[in-house]
């Protein structure tokens, strides 16, 4: 069975970033009207803080009661049986897939200290943003361990 993909409304930008870190296709539309969200939903699940919108999406709608990120993330993980796929994390900026690249390929795109300190780098196939496991990686892992 394929992994679920998500469409998140304007109130859930942080949740979209975290689902992307976990490796899940998560389209975040900040300023779309409800009717547009429902039109483009397709096979995605709509995650929203708007109870009526979730109801209008039928079985593809999932209402998130809390505005606390950890509670939201835990609810989505539980409802959809998610687990982190850290080997296939997605771009937190644009949702594009990341691919591991040779270190030399990013030398001109990152600070010298970052380039010399780290051996593994990933780039987004869509927007070109460069990623590495920096100091923040421990915090990311800790949050994911707490919620999964």
In terms of residue numbers, what domain contains 63?
6-86
Q: Tell me, what's the pLDDT at 80?
A: 97
Assign 105 a pLDDT band (cuts: 50, 70, 90). very high
Q: pTM for this one?
A: 0.91
Question: 53 with 41: CB under 8 angstroms?
Answer: no
Is the pLDDT at 148 greater than 80? The verdict is no
Q: Is 121 part of any domain?
A: no
Is residue 36 domain-resident? yes
Give domain status of residue 106, yes or no: no
Does residue 141 belong to any structural domain of this protein? no
What pLDDT shows up at residue 95?
Answer: 97
Q: How many domains does the chain have?
A: 1
128 is a domain residue: no
Report long-range pairs for 63-67 (Cβ below 8 Å, ≥24 apart).
Answer: 64/12, 64/15, 67/11
Is 137 within the bounds of a domain? Answer: no
- Residue 104: what pLDDT? 96
* Within a domain: 129: no
Q: How confident is the model at residue 129, as a pLDDT? A: 96
pLDDT band for 81, please (50, 70, 90 cuts).
Answer: very high
Q: What is the mean pLDDT of the chain?
A: 94
95 domain residue, yes or no: no
Q: Which residue has the tokens 């982190």?
A: 84
* pLDDT for residue 140: 87
């Amino acid at each position: 069975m394929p992994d679920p993909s998500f469409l998140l409304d304007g109130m859930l930008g942080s949740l979209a970033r975290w689902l992307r870190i976990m490796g899940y296709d998560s389209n975040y539309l900040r300023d779309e009207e409800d009717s547009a969200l429902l039109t483009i939903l397709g096979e995605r699940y709509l995650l929203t803080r708007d109870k009526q919108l979730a109801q209008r999406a039928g079985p593809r709608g999932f209402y998130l009661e809390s505005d606390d990120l950890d509670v939201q993330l835990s609810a989505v993980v539980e409802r959809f049986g998610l687990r982190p796929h850290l080997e296939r994390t997605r771009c937190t900026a644009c949702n594009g897939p990341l691919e591991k690249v040779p270190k030399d390929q990013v030398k001109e795109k990152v600070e010298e200290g970052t380039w010399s300190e780290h051996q593994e780098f990933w780039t987004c196939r869509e927007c070109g943003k460069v990623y590495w496991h920096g100091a923040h990686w421990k915090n990311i892992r800790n949050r994911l361990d707490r919620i999964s």
